[in-house]
Each structure stands twice: as structure tokens, then as C-alpha cells.
């Protein structure tokens, strides 16, 4: 019954190409925050109103909401799709995304209109918040990015990331 979907994963890319995608995901003015908390793409929008990032070097296109999900929440299990709570295909707010099967997605569409309000979340970047530290700790556990790379993503020094990794700061956040 389950339809097989294959999408490339952020985590299967060589590190320079992975950083290329992450930089595009975090680039300024990529999205605007709408009244209901969507992070709505202003560019890179293609078929079906989904955002896409093309990696010419790899010869593949990555769906922006999937990149966002994988970056902020972790690898998408094989064959699963990323659904929008907010029903807005242009939205890349990780808090509005969840993984499921095509079957789940159809169920969700059938339920539409019951008003599951999306959660808003704006990522401030100047100073780390507790939720960012949780993300950083997850990235550290996955060992896909160097301290320097993670530092660049969150606009903090490499040493800041290293201190988190060594448990010298933020050890209360688990």
C-alpha cells in the first residue's frame, strides 16, 4: 500500500555540497515569516509551489522543505515524505513539518479544516538560544559537520561549538 518515494538526503552529500545546501537554506531573505508562523519562501519556488535547491555539481534537485527538516530535525527515514501542518508548500518552518507516509498525508488532507494551528518559530541568530543548542548537540552527535561548519551556520565561533561539544557550556541543556 505504501508508495515508495526516493528523495536524496542532505546527509548523503559530500561535506562541501552539504554546506552549499545549508548555506542556501540559511541565506538571508530566503523566506518571510507570515502571520500564522509560516516561513514562506520568496525565491527558489518551482512546481507545485515547493521550494527547490538545485545542486548542479551533483545533478540533483533538493526540495527546500525536506532540506529544512533534515537540517533542523534529522535524517528523513527512507521512503517517508515531509508533510506540512500548515498546508503551505512554500513553508520551510521546521516546526510546521513532520514526516509520514503518503497514506498519513492523505489522512491529514482529509482532516484539513479542523484548525491545527501551526506553531510559530523565528530563529534569532546573534546569540544562541536553548533550542539552537539542542540542534547543535544533535548535529554534533550525528558527526556530519565540523565545529567550524556548525559555527558558521549559527554565526558563532568554532570555539563556542567546541565548548558545547566538550560539555563546558550549556551542559544543562540535553
d(CA 15, CA 139): 13
* Least Cβ distance, residue 99 to Zn ion (angstroms): 15
Residue nearer to Zn ion on the CB measure, 40 or 135: 40
Q: Based on the shown chain and the rule CB under 5 A, indicate whether residue 68 belongs to the binding site for Zn ion.
A: no
What secondary structure, in 3-state letters, does 87-151 show? Answer: CCCCECCHHHEEEECHHHHHHHHHHCCCCCCCCCCCCCCCCCCHHHHHHHHHHHHHCCCCHHHHH
Name residues contacting Zn ion, limited to 30-59 (CB under 5 A).
38
Name residues contacting Zn ion, limited to 105-124 (CB under 5 A).
none
Q: CA angle 112-107-41, nearest 5°? A: 55
Q: Based on the shown chain and the rule CB under 5 A, indicate whether residue 96 belongs to the binding site for Zn ion.
A: yes
Q: Based on the shown chain and the rule CB under 5 A, indicate whether residue 76 belongs to the binding site for Zn ion.
A: no
d(CA 95, CA 68): 10
Residue nearer to Zn ion on the CB measure, 18 or 39: 39
Q: Based on the shown chain and the rule CB under 5 A, indicate whether residue 64 belongs to the binding site for Zn ion.
A: no
Q: Based on the shown chain and the rule CB under 5 A, indicate whether residue 91 belongs to the binding site for Zn ion.
A: yes
Q: Quick one: cell of 72?
A: 533542523
Q: Based on the shown chain and the rule CB under 5 A, indicate whether residue 86 belongs to the binding site for Zn ion.
A: yes
Residues 45 and 90 sit within 8 Å (Cβ to Cβ): yes
Task: Using CB under 5 A, count the residues that bind Zn ion.
Answer: 6
Residues that bind Zn ion (CB under 5 A): 38, 86, 88, 91, 93, 96
Amino acid at each position: 500500500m505504501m508508495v515508495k518515494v526516493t528523495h536524496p538526503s542532505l546527509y548523503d552529500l559530500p561535506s562541501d555540497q552539504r554546506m552549499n545546501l545549508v548555506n542556501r537554506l540559511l541565506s538571508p531573505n530566503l523566506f518571510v515569516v507570515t502571520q500564522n508562523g509560516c516561513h514562506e519562501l520568496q525565491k527558489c519556488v518551482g512546481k507545485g509551489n515547493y521550494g527547490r535547491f538545485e545542486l548542479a555539481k551533483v545533478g540533483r534537485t533538493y526540495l527546500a522543505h525536506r532540506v529544512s527538516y533534515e537540517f533542523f530535525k534529522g535524517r528523513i527515514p527512507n521512503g517517508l515524505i515531509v508533510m506540512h501542518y500548515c498546508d503551505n508548500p512554500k513553508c520551510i518552518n521546521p516546526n510546521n513539518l513532520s514526516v509520514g507516509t503518503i497514506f498519513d498525508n492523505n489522512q491529514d488532507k482529509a482532516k484539513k479544516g479542523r484548525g491545527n494551528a501551526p506553531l510559530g518559530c523565528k530563529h534569532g541568530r546573534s546569540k544562541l538560544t536553548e533550542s539552537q543548542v539542542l540542534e547543535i548537540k544533535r548535529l554534533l552527535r550525528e558527526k556530519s559537520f565540523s565545529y567550524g561548519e556548525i559555527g558558521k551556520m549559527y554565526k558563532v565561533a568554532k570555539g563556542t561549538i567546541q565548548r558545547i561539544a566538550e560539555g563546558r557550556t550549556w551542559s544543562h541543556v540535553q
